[in-house]
Amino acid sequence: MNNKSDKPEVTDSDCLQAFDHLYAYINGELSDPRSVAMIEHHLSHCRSCYSRAQMEREINDRLKNSGQPKPPPGLKSRLDKLIDEFEDE
């Protein structure tokens, strides 16, 4: 694939790089301004990542509005117990 067009092309590796930081970006946890700029640049060019980011953001908002952003406190210990039981077999 050597034919370069003058349009900004999005490659899979660009998407993967953006995805690496997408969740932190959406959660406002991304502090490195270069990563923020990289993601915003990518989202402005890549429609699929942009719509993905929109969707994640919407899900995030709903979780926040539901008042239960974290899994219930008992969940982790139940999972640990399940794993313990698996290991015993």
Q: Could you give the string, one character per residue 48-87, with x where binding to Zn ion holds by CB under 5 A and - elsewhere?
A: -x--------------------------------------
- Residues in Cβ contact with 42 at an 8 Å cutoff, skipping those fewer than 6 apart: 10, 14, 15, 17, 18, 49
Q: From 9-17, 23-31, 63-71, 72-80, give the range in contact with Zn ion by CB under 5 A.
A: 9-17
Query: For residues 14-53, which are near Zn ion according to CB under 5 A?
Result: 15, 46, 49
Distance from C-alpha of 47 to C-alpha of 57, rounded to nearest angstrom: 15
- Binding residues for Zn ion (CB under 5 A): 15, 46, 49
